[in-house]
């Protein structure tokens, strides 16, 4: 993820004020990942929905696609300090410096998320940058209570070098590492990351390139198919996820495609069929009703007919 | 003095069942005696609320809690009851039902029913799961309808048994308030899959609670049980009595933290020790209980295995009162938590120095217990719990907080957490949290699903639907509904912070 350093510099996570003194000059363009740094939208100490057991989930900021059904669109972009969110902040936690930087005072924030709702770019002014060490120190106090860490987003795989270094530390502490991936980044390019990853929860999005492009706002790279093979070969598919909305998502084609690629292996793969829900969604689908349970069950039955055996509807 | 007016009110009540009237009338009669020597100073502590004996009555004639050795009973039967050692599951269940009827306690009902899975497992034989579950269903239904007081506790674990699994299966379907179940859990002994069944049951019907087996071995070894409201007591013994210090009320008498620590606390705790010894002496020397009970004669209980429980409650508000000038809050501010720890340390040191009569098992000392409360408590939070509304944002911080204070209470302490309903789709997540909590020093915890009908009040279970009835002046079966309904409102239990959202 490349970004231009804003006026006033970057907002660092805890105990990292010292970094601000270094050569991070406003106006220059940097590649965060290669610098061992990642923007963190938020962390959930104790998540029950991001893999097996209790897990600490880290949401990294920034995504390379724009799904119509995205339920946390405020994680998609990096703040460009336009200042649009500042004036209406009800608690006065947001301000803009004379140099133009948007600042956020966490202790004053009431977490109303109005700033997210008004952001024209689907970004957040509440993001901190973390080094690998700082992020490890932030999550490791939870380790007695959780099985491991899940990297989610945004799109976590946009930070492969960062994740590799972070996961190494987490695994050294005896915990497992999972990635929530949207499938658009070719993971075979990052064997070091896969070597320290315990599993990937992979989104299927859509199969047909046209359907895919209309759903996620970007041309298909074909990486989903490649990732399925890469991950299946390494036995790293923790689960496959399909958010289903008839008319927008070619659910049957997705399942057929996966079954064609992976053959018998689909028997052992956990398939999560997720009902589209408009909660948090912005844009054309924000009022769209969820598919009926019958529609979900019909899709489940279809999956079963293709050989999937571990299926859950959420 | 016999309180004619109160007794008449009981006798003519429209809100009590016959059985509830009978027991209340007996209490009025007992309270007519003045057989205990109570110094003026102690009476003053009673009056300002610093000391409370939890309505044990003025003339103790049975121990507060009795932990019958049911294993021994099933092996030998009972001469007094003319019960032969059972050979089949039916006989074992009926043998237990007959004995339960004769186990007294402060509630007049048995507060401990035994480790039911290990008790019944040897009798399952070749019977099918369905047949066994049907027998258990009848057994548990009988208990719920006849032991009409939720301070009644059965135990499970720590090993996985077929009986344990079938008990969980039956309980999940019944969702009764009685008995309370606690599972003894040791990650080294109890398989994850069995615990996940227990947790699933717990999210369905608020039972069982989970006891840190390893941490609770300390006072009496493996021969311990959980009775009533999280009382950890020796099997084949029990508790003579329980009197508590209400730190909230004692702190209100203090002119400074030093005054509280150096004068009030030693003075009040000594008064409690003297009072409990007075009760124990009457019970042992005068009441005739230990001379006449067949439980003693047949070796099912042993006076040498009884203890006196030293209760502590209202730590949170006690600390908040002492620090009110600084505005520091227990559960939120480290300085308040630190003072809380110092108070408990002081209580431990002081009570370690106070002899308890007829208590050889505990080397003539009392055992500390974090008392969970009374219906009459207003602004007094159970034991060492954090008041509703002051809970830390983070569930993990809350559990760490519990772990810090649980170690002071070998005779029982516990916390209660409502859990978000979606967690039933990931039971292993909650089990991970339990493991972490126990590693952090938590001795005992219980869960209920945020939307369930059966809710834990301070430790016992009450149905929301029954509380509604009681509020509308209807007669209800379980006397604990009378206690739960006002507590649920006063302590804003509906607003407990839901965890794992």
Q: What is the pLDDT of residues B436-490, one digit of tens each?
A: 999 999 999 999 888 888 888 887 888 888 888 888 888 887 877 877 888 888 8
Average pLDDT score over residue span A65-69: 96
Q: Do β-strands B306-313 and B237-246 pair in parallel, antiparallel, or remain unpaired?
A: parallel
CA distance linking residue A141 with residue B69, whole number of Å: 43
How many helices (H) and strands (E) chain B has is answered by 20, 15
Interface contact A53-B431, CB threshold 8 A: yes
Interface contact A146-B432, CB threshold 8 A: yes
Above 60 in pLDDT, residue A220? yes
* Interface predicted TM-score (ipTM) of this complex, two decimals: 0.87
Shortest distance between the Cα of A245 and any Cα of chain B, in A, equals: 22
Above 70 in pLDDT, residue A24? no
Percentage of chain B exceeding pLDDT 90: 83
- Residues on chain B bordering chain A, Cβ-to-Cβ distance under 8 angstroms: 394-396, 399, 420, 422-423, 425-426, 428-433, 435-437, 439-440, 500
CA distance linking residue A13 with residue A39, whole number of Å: 9
CA distance linking residue A164 with residue A162, whole number of Å: 5
> Of the given ranges (A7-21, B44-58, B95-109), which has the lowest mean pLDDT?
A7-21
pLDDT in tens, B27-65: 999 999 999 999 999 999 999 999 999 989 999 999 999
CB within 8 Å of B361: residues ≥ 6 apart: B220, B234, B237, B304, B305, B306, B307
SS3 B18: helix
Q: How many Cβ atoms from other residues are within 10 Å of residue B6's Cβ?
A: 14
Shortest distance between the Cα of B495 and any Cα of chain A, in A, equals: 20
Residue of chain A with shortest Cα separation from B430: A54
CB B467 within 8 A of CB B484: yes
A110 touches chain B (CB under 8 A): no
CA distance linking residue B188 with residue B214, whole number of Å: 9
For B368, the enclosing helix (H) or strand (E) is strand B367-370
Residue of chain B with shortest Cα separation from A56: B429
More confident: B376 or A308: A308
Q: Of the candidates B21, B46, B26, which has an alpha carbon nearest to the alpha carbon of residue B36?
A: B46
Minimal Cβ distance to B500: which of A46, A53, A147 = A46
The region, left, alpha or beta by phi > 0 then psi within -120 to 50, assigned to residue A187 is alpha
Probe site for chain B from A54, A239, A311, A314 (most B CB atoms < 10 A)? A54
CA distance linking residue A306 with residue A263, whole number of Å: 9
DSSP state of B499: B
Q: Which residues face B456 on adjacent strands?
A: B461
Interface contact B433-A46, CB threshold 8 A: yes
pLDDT given for residue A31 in this prediction? 83
Q: Which residues face A180 on adjacent strands?
A: A201
The CA-atom distances, in angstroms, between B67 and each of B237, B240, B297, B303, B370 are 5, 11, 15, 11, 19
Shortest distance between the Cα of B422 and any Cα of chain A, in A, equals: 8
DSSP state of A140: G
pLDDT given for residue A41 in this prediction? 94
pLDDT given for residue A22 in this prediction? 53
> Of the given ranges (B153-167, B191-205, B206-220, B456-470), which has the lowest mean pLDDT?
B456-470
Q: Of the candidates B239, B359, B235, which has an alpha carbon nearest to the alpha carbon of residue B299?
A: B235
CA distance linking residue A201 with residue A187, whole number of Å: 13
Backbone angles phi and psi of B38, in degrees to 5 = -125, 110
Backbone angles phi and psi of B233, in degrees to 5 = -140, 155
SS3 A29: strand
Angle at which helices B334-352 and B265-281 cross, to 10°: 40
Q: Do β-strands A128-131 and A310-313 pair in parallel, antiparallel, or remain unpaired?
A: unpaired
Provide the sign of the torsion angle of the four alpha carbons A126, A131, A132, A136, taken in this order.
negative
Average pLDDT score over residue span B67-89: 98
Above 70 in pLDDT, residue A17? no
Q: Of the candidates A153, A63, A38, A119, which has an alpha carbon nearest to the alpha carbon of residue A102?
A: A119
Q: Of the candidates B249, B235, B188, B194, which has an alpha carbon nearest to the alpha carbon of residue B215?
A: B188
Residue of chain B with shortest Cα separation from A143: B436
Residue of chain B with shortest Cα separation from A46: B500
Cβ under 8 Å to B: A residues 29-58: 45-49, 52-55
pLDDT given for residue A19 in this prediction? 59
How is residue A273 written in tokens? 């069929």
Average pLDDT score over residue span A272-276: 96
The CA-atom distances, in angstroms, between A221 and each of A59, A92, A131, A225, A252 are 24, 43, 30, 9, 20
Residue-by-residue DSSP string for B97-141: HHHHTT---TTSS-SEEEEHHHHHGGG-TT--HHHHHHHHHHHHH
Above 70 in pLDDT, residue A9? no
Alpha helices in chain A (DSSP H): 114-118, 132-139, 160-172, 191-195, 209-216, 223-233, 251-262, 293-305
CB A272 within 8 A of CB A312: yes
How is residue B7 written in tokens? 């007794």
How is residue B399 written in tokens? 């559990």
Provide the sign of the torsion angle of the four alpha carbons B275, B280, B283, B284, taken in this order.
negative
- Mean pLDDT (chain B) is 94
Above 80 in pLDDT, residue B392? yes
How is residue B429 written in tokens? 């997540």
pLDDT given for residue B461 in this prediction? 83
Q: Which residues of A touch B203 (CB under 8 A)?
A: none
pLDDT given for residue A196 in this prediction? 98
Rg (CA), chain B: 22
Above 70 in pLDDT, residue B498? yes
CB B180 within 8 A of CB B210: no
Provide the sign of the torsion angle of the four alpha carbons B80, B292, B54, B242, taken in this order.
negative
Q: How many Cβ atoms from other residues are within 10 Å of residue A279's Cβ?
A: 9
CA distance linking residue A156 with residue A296, whole number of Å: 28
Tokens 């039902």 — which residue?
B97
Residue-by-residue DSSP string for A211-272: HHHHHHSS---SHHHHHHHHHHHTT-EEEEEEEE-TTT--HHHHHHHHHHHHGGGGGGSEEE
Above 70 in pLDDT, residue A38? yes
CB A217 within 8 A of CB A184: no
Above 70 in pLDDT, residue B13? yes
Minimal Cβ distance to A145: which of B423, B425, B432 = B432
CA distance linking residue B302 with residue B309, whole number of Å: 17
Q: Which residues face A176 on adjacent strands?
A: A148
Above 70 in pLDDT, residue A8? no
Provide the sign of the torsion angle of the four alpha carbons B162, B163, B166, B171, taken in this order.
negative
CA distance linking residue A2 with residue A34, whole number of Å: 10
CA distance linking residue B82 with residue B331, whole number of Å: 54
Cβ under 8 Å to B: A residues 159-198: none
CB B236 within 8 A of CB B225: no
Interface contact B435-A55, CB threshold 8 A: no
Interface contact B396-A142, CB threshold 8 A: yes
CA B164 to the chain's CA centroid = 22
Confidence of residue A143 (pLDDT cuts 50, 70, 90): very high
Cis peptide before B211 (omega within 30 of 0): no
pLDDT in tens, B297-315: 999 999 999 999 999 999 9
Residue of chain B with shortest Cα separation from A144: B436
CA distance linking residue B480 with residue B457, whole number of Å: 10
A111 touches chain B (CB under 8 A): no
CB B170 within 8 A of CB B406: no
DSSP state of B355: B
Minimal Cβ distance to B395: which of A46, A55, A141 = A46
């Amino acid at each position: 993820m490349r970004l231009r350093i804003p006026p006033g510099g970057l907002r660092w996570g805890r105990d990292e004020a010292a970094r601000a003194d270094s050569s991070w000059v406003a106006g220059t363009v940097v590649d965060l990942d290669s610098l061992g740094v990642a923007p963190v939208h938020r962390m959930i100490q104790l998540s029950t929905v991001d893999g097996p057991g209790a897990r600490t989930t880290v949401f990294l900021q920034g995504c390379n696609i724009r799904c119509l059904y995205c339920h946390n669109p405020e994680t998609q972009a990096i703040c460009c300090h336009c200042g649009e969110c500042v004036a209406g902040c009800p608690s006065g936690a947001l301000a803009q410096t004379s140099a133009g930087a948007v600042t956020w005072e966490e202790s004053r924030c009431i977490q109303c998320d109005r700033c997210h709702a008004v952001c024209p770019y689907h970004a957040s002014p509440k993001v901190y940058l973390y080094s690998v060490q700082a992020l490890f120190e932030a999550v490791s106090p939870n380790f007695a209570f959780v099985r491991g860490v899940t990297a989610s987003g945004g799109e976590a795989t946009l930070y492969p070098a960062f994740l590799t270094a972070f996961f190494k530390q987490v695994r050294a502490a005896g915990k497992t590492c999972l990635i929530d991936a949207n499938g658009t980044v070719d993971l075979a390019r990052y064997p070091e990351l896969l070597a320290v990853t315990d599993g990937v929860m992979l989104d299927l999005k859509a199969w047909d390139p046209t359907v895919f492009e209309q759903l996620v706002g970007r041309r298909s790279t074909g990486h989903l198919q490649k990732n399925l093979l890469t991950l299946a070969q390494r036995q790293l598919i923790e689960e496959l996820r399909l958010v289903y909305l008839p008319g927008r998502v070619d659910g049957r084609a997705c399942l057929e495609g996966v079954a064609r690629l992976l053959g018998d292996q689909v028997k052992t793969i956990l398939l999560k069929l997720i009902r589209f829900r408009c909660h948090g969604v912005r844009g054309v689908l924000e009022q769209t009703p969820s598919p009926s349970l019958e529609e979900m069950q019909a899709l489940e039955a279809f999956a079963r007919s293709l050989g999937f055996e571990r299926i859950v509807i959420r | 003095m016999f309180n004619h007016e109160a007794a008449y009110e009981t006798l003519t009540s429209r809100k009590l069942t016959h059985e509830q009237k009978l027991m209340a009338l007996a209490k009025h009669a007992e309270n007519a005696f003045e057989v205990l020597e109570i110094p003026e100073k102690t009476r003053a502590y009673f009056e300002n609320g610093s000391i409370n004996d939890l309505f044990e009555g003025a003339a103790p004639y049975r121990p507060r809690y009795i932990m019958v050795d049911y294993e021994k009973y099933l092996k030998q039967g009972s001469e007094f009851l003319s019960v032969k050692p059972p050979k089949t599951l039916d006989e074992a269940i009926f043998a237990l039902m007959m004995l339960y009827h004769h186990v007294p306690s402060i509630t007049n009902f048995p507060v401990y029913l035994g480790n039911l899975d290990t008790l019944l497992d040897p009798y399952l034989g070749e019977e099918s799961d369905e047949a066994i579950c049907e027998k258990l269903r009848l057994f548990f239904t009988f208990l719920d309808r006849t032991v009409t007081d939720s301070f009644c506790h059965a135990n499970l674990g720590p090993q996985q048994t077929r009986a344990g699994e079938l008990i969980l299966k039956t309980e999940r379907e019944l969702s009764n308030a009685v008995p309370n179940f606690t599972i003894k859990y040791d990650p080294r002994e109890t398989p994850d899959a069995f615990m996940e069944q227990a947790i699933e049951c717990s999210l369905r019907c608020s039972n069982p609670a989970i006891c840190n087996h390893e941490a609770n071995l300390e006072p009496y070894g493996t021969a311990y049980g959980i009775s009533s409201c999280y009382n950890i007591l020796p099997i084949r013994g029990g508790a003579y009595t329980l009197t508590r210090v209400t730190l909230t009320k004692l702190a209100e008498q203090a002119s400074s933290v030093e005054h509280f620590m150096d004068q009030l606390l030693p003075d009040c705790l000594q008064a409690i020790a003297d009072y409990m010894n007075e009760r124990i002496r009457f019970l042992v020397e005068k009441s005739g209980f230990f001379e006449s009970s067949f439980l003693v004669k047949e070796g099912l209980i042993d006076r040498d295995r009884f203890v006196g429980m030293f209760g502590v409650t209202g730590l949170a508000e006690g600390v908040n009162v002492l620090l009110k000038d600084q505005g520091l809050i227990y559960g939120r501010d480290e300085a308040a938590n630190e003072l809380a720890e110092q108070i408990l340390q002081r209580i431990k040191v002081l009570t370690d120095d106070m002899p308890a009569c007829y208590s050889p098992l505990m080397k003539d000392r009392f055992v500390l217990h974090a008392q969970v409360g009374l219906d009459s408590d207003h602004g007094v939070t159970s034991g060492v719990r954090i008041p509703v509304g002051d809970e830390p944002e983070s569930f993990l911080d809350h559990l760490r907080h519990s772990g810090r204070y649980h170690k002071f209470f070998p005779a029982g302490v516990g916390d209660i957490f409502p859990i978000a309903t979606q967690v039933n789709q990931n039971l292993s997540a909650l089990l991970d949290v339990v493991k972490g909590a126990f590693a952090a020093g938590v001795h005992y915890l219980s869960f209920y699903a945020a939307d369930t009908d059966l809710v834990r009040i301070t430790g016992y279970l009450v149905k929301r639907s029954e509380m509604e009835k009681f509020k509308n002046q209807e007669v209800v079966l379980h006397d604990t509904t009378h206690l739960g309904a006002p507590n649920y409102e006063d302590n804003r239990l509906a607003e407990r912070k839901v965890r794992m959202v």
